């Protein structure tokens, strides 16, 4: 059953900055108690391409920005290879507060935070989402039994978006053999995104 009061409160957030302020006050799950910051996300509020990870790590929690630690540096290299800058795209996470010891977020925590992410995505209105890692892919595809190893590299339609699951950058740090499949997935995203840009360019007067 949905949370009527939360739904009503979220309906009143009509811009990303309003939603960010709303999220800063959130204590819907226990993760807030151990976290220094609510890491809302950042980037172009009208991005057509959104990357969604699992949750903030220690460095992200300390600074209050997503993907600024070692995995973030690798993600920046992926962006550079794709020809994207952080100003052009948007980066968010499934949970906005750091799970202690960098453990994966629990299902109840993800469920608590999901309406905030859904509202964030609704306000940005992207056309492409890259779900990085099992938590993001399972959550955004609403499939708790999803295997990221099997599902990565396959497009899914979610609402008006196309969603590409791939490995999380932290997984690439642990296992460099995952770099090649991620690069394949990113190449698919690049091709789709370039097609979108070209179609939008054609629609301009």
Which two tokens mark 141? 């595809």
Closest approach of ligand SF4 to the CB of residue 176, in Å: 30
Closest approach of ligand SF4 to the CB of residue 115, in Å: 8
Closest approach of ligand SF4 to the CB of residue 66, in Å: 13
d(CA 28, CA 109): 8
Ramachandran bin of 146, using left for φ above 0, alpha for ψ from -120 to 50, beta for the remaining angles = beta
Residue with smaller CB distance to ligand SF4, 60 or 109? 109
Closest approach of ligand SF4 to the CB of residue 34, in Å: 10
Residue with smaller CB distance to ligand SF4, 95 or 161? 95
Residue with smaller CB distance to ligand SF4, 97 or 146? 97
Query: Where on the chain is the footprint of ligand SF4 (CB under 6 A)?
Result: 23, 26-29, 31-32, 38, 95-97, 109, 112-113, 116
Which two tokens mark 138? 């399972």
Residue with smaller CB distance to ligand SF4, 22 or 192? 22
> Quick one: how far is CA 190 from the chain centroid?
17
Closest CA to 132 of 163, 89, 158, 98: 163
Distances 103 to 15, 41, 58, 167 between C-alpha atoms, Å: 31, 20, 11, 17
């Amino acid at each position: 059953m949905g949370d009527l009061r939360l739904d009503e409160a979220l309906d009143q957030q009509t811009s990303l900055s309003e939603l960010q302020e709303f999220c800063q006050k959130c204590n819907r799950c226990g993760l807030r108690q151990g976290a220094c910051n609510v890491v809302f996300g950042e980037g172009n509020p009208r991005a057509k391409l959104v990357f969604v990870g699992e949750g903030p790590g220690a460095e992200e929690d300390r600074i209050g920005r997503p993907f600024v630690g070692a995995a973030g540096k690798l993600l920046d290299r992926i962006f550079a290879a794709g020809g994207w800058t952080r100003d052009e795209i948007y980066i968010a996470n499934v949970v906005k507060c750091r799970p202690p010891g960098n453990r994966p977020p629990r299902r109840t925590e993800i469920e608590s935070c999901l309406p905030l992410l859904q509202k964030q995505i609704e306000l940005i209105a992207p056309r492409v989402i890259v779900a990085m890692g099992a938590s993001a892919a399972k959550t955004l595809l609403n499939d708790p039994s999803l295997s990221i190893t099997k599902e990565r590299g396959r497009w899914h339609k979610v609402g008006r978006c196309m969603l590409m699951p791939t490995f999380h950058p932290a997984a690439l740090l642990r296992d460099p053999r995952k770099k090649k499949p991620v690069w394949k997935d990113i190449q698919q995203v690049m091709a789709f995104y370039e097609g979108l840009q070209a179609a939008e360019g054609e629609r301009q007067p």
